[in-house]
Amino acid sequence: MAKMRRKGDLPQKTCVHCGLPFSWRRKWAKVWDEVRYCSERCRRAARAGGEKG
């Protein structure tokens, strides 16, 4: 079983669209280097050319 980590110990990035920080998630484990957006909503808004924030 994997060692438990505190959320504060996880890597963080800043969302390219909204500018808010977000933490690593297990579903992003294999593609963490490619993750740019904190959510599907921000990804869609950025692709649609929507306003920031």
What count of Cα atoms within 13 Å lies in the side-chain half-sphere of residue 24? Answer: 14
Q: In a 3-state reduction of DSSP, which class is residue 23?
A: strand
Between 30 and 51, residue with greater pLDDT: 30
Structure token pair of residue 50: 């929507």
Q: Are the beta carbons of 4 and 26 closer than 8 angstroms?
A: no
pLDDT tens digits along 18-44:
999 999 999 999 999 999 999 999 999
